[in-house]
Amino acid sequence: MIKLENMEFNGQQQAQTKTMAAAAVPTPDVAVRSQKREETVRAEAKDVNFFYGDFQALKNINIHVFDRRITALIGPSGCGKSTFLRTLNRMNDLIEGARVEGSITIDGQDVNAPGVDAADLRKRVGMVFQRPNPFPMSIFDNIAYGPRIHGEKNKKALGEIVERSLRQAALWDEVKDVQKRSALALSGGQQQRLCIARVLAVEPEVVLMDEPASALDPNSTYRIEELMTELKNDYTIVLVTHNMQQAARVSDYTGFFLRGEMKEFGATDKIFTTPEQKETEDYIRGRFG
Amino acid sequence: MSTKTPTRPPQSNLARRKRAERVFYALCLAATFTAVLLLVLLLYGVIRDGIGRLNWEFLQSFPSRFAHRAGIKAALYGTLWVISLTGLIAVPIGVAAAIYLEEYAQKNRLNAFIQMNIANLAGVPSVVYALLGLALFVRFFGFGRSVIAGALTMSLLILPTVIIATQEALRAVPSSLREASFGLGATRWQTIRLQVLPAAFGGIMTGIILSLSRAIGETAPLITIGALTFVTFVPRGPMDSFTALPIQIFNWASRPQQAFHEVAAAAILVLLAVLLVMNSIAIFLRQRQRRRLS
Ligand SMILES: Nc1ncnc2c1ncn2[C@@H]1O[C@H](COP(=O)(O)OP(=O)(O)OP(=O)(O)O)[C@@H](O)[C@H]1O
Ligand SMILES: [Mg+2]
């Protein structure tokens, strides 16, 4: 708590985003305690249900994702973390027979509204996957792919974007002289940072990360965590992780999922020190999951 | 204080399994050798008969009543014309159909029905396509016994295999690649054009080349739609009449004179060479693909 109160929050706000005291968030499940904190809501899920055919994978999810904060989603395998994450950028659209109910808004705009183009939404809500999935192209072309498909043709501009993104993803020094080389020749940890850089190159507002470090060694994991903390200054991050220490270390807010429901949501310090639900505590202490 | 029951030494079992392994290995080897041996015998016969006739003049001469003057110019050009046109017709349609079925189509009854029928069509004997081609292209559309009628019939024949091979190649593209592209805000078409098709290129080309080489060897459809057997000109356009290598070979081989059998053998060698080149290209593309994706 002490750490939270001493933290500095700048009040920069986008015109279209709502500002509210976190404590006043009118959602029953949400228990955000830090009264001092002024947070901007970037994304919001209201009564979200999700179905794979007849199977209901998400039940009545309510959550706020705050601007320029890291929100961690934790919970046992199969509880619906990835499913929820993918509703935020409509990646689930690609799955046959999947159906979503309730409202998911980014900057107050319903992502499932008829006028919203999924490709356009995914430009604003980028995603890093569990397993690094670079394109079988050069390092440069991997990063330039996003800007290119969105219409950037200028070579100089592309070069600048690539350099900036690689720097942001702490990969520039390692690859600056070999940008023409195949991205598949990089190590796993480098590939994952490349994938992060690739997302950053399209300048999304929100970055979704689905266990971005689960396939990596401790050192690469550490670098990715460092990176996330760094990125928090400019980006809103939603992070799915199985690693409790990771959630505790890097996130500001944590949501605990269990069997498709969100059992508890709150400031990370609170969730990890004095959770309200017994199940949350059991999970965090490693008693099940 | 339990008396240990002596477990059976694992060696005895191992010995039996090893023997089974050796027997199976020997059987596989025998099967392989039978196939290779037959092929070698066949090739030996053809080469022995044909090699003496194989020269530049043979490729550059028209057929003749005299075996020593007969050549395959007309048949070779006819085959190249038909196959090129077949490729131009069947490949775009087949690849587009596969992209639709694999990347766009919803999983509903209609599409399942279409899919099932394509699989069935791939198994239909070529003579059935030939009769369809005769009725449709030769008679109804009035193309007559032309190159285009032959190419259209061949296209019908290989379309199912082109579609199925392309679908398989598309399915082999890892979904993580598609997700990465979609995740960056690419549209479906951008994802297909920039990621899926390049990744599937080797597989698609392999399917196309194998389908086309099947078409090169097909005789029944061309005979049925009435390709000529004695042609002393090369087609100058799609509406010209033509002959093709398999027809020419069939024609020569069915004559009584030994000299014409030698001419037929030489023509077979040319046909085999064309097929070998095409299959080598397919293998090369597949290898390159493998290297690129690993
Ligand atoms: N494509 C799908 N079709 C049908 N059911 C699915 C599909 N994807 C996931 N599910 C089911 O939905 C539930 C939630 O899956 P999800 O992948 O969201 O879990 P998760 O919390 O991310 O688990 P993990 O930690 O193992 O990644 C699981 O029971 C899973 O079996
Ligand atoms: Mg998951």
Can you tell me the ipTM of this complex? 0.82
Q: What are the pLDDT tens digits along chain A (289 aa)?
A: 333 333 333 333 333 344 444 444 444 444 444 445 678 888 888 898 999 988 988 999 999 888 888 999 988 888 999 999 999 999 988 888 888 998 999 988 888 888 888 888 999 999 999 888 999 999 999 999 999 999 888 889 888 999 989 988 888 888 888 888 888 988 888 898 899 999 999 999 999 999 888 877 788 788 888 888 888 888 899 999 988 888 888 889 998 898 988 888 888 888 888 877 778 878 887 766 5
pLDDT of residue A35: 45
Q: Does A95 reach chain B within 8 Å, measured CB to CB?
A: no
**pTM (2 d.p.):** 0.80
Q: Does B106 or A143 have the greater pLDDT score? A: A143
Q: Does B183 reach chain A within 8 Å, measured CB to CB?
A: yes
Q: B182–A123: do the CB atoms touch at under 8 Å?
A: no
Q: Does A64 reach chain B within 8 Å, measured CB to CB?
A: no
| Partner residues linked to A100 by β-bridges | A50
Residue among A133, A191, A238 with most chain B CBs within 10 A, to mutate: A133
Q: A199–B107: do the CB atoms touch at under 8 Å?
A: no
- Domain boundary assignment for chain A: 4-109+118-284
In this complex, the residue of A97, A122, A136 whose CB is nearest that of residue B184 is A122
CA atoms of A289 and B286, how far apart (whole Å): 44
Please tell me the distance in Å from A258's CA to the nearest CA on chain B: 26
- Structural tokens at position A155: 């070579």
Radius of gyration (C-alpha) of chain A in whole angstroms: 19
pLDDT of residue B278: 87
Q: State the average pLDDT over residues B42-53.
A: 87
Q: State the average pLDDT over residues B247-271.
A: 88
Q: Is the pLDDT of residue B244 over 90?
A: no
Q: Provide the pLDDT confidence category of residue B279 given band limits of 50, 70 and 90.
A: confident
CA atoms of B68 and B263, how far apart (whole Å): 8
Mean pLDDT of chain B: 87
Tell me the CATH class for A4-109+118-284.
alpha beta
User: Is residue A57 in contact with ligand 1, taking CB distance under 6 Å?
Assistant: yes
Q: Provide the pLDDT confidence category of residue B83 given band limits of 50, 70 and 90.
A: very high
Q: Is the pLDDT of residue B257 over 60?
A: yes
For residue range B111-132, list pLDDT tens digits in order: 889 999 999 998 899 889 999 9
- Architecture of the structural domain at B58-293: Orthogonal Bundle (1.10)
CA atoms of B8 and A279, how far apart (whole Å): 50
3-state secondary structure at position A75: coil
Which residue's C-alpha comes closest to atom 17 of ligand 1?
A82
Which residue's C-alpha comes closest to atom 4 of ligand 1?
A52
Roughly what angle, to the nearest 10 degrees, separates helices B197-217 and B245-253?
A: 30
Give the ranges where chain B is alpha helix by DSSP (H). Answer: 10-50, 56-60, 73-99, 109-121, 126-133, 147-171, 175-183, 188-191, 197-217, 220-225, 245-253, 258-293
CA atoms of B262 and B242, how far apart (whole Å): 23
How many whole angstroms from A85 Cα to the centroid of ligand 2? 9
What residues contact residue B82 under an 8 Å CB cut-off, 6+ apart? B147, B150, B151, B154, B215, B222, B242, B244
- Domain boundary assignment for chain B: 19-53, 58-293
Closest residue in A to B180 (Cα–Cα): A133
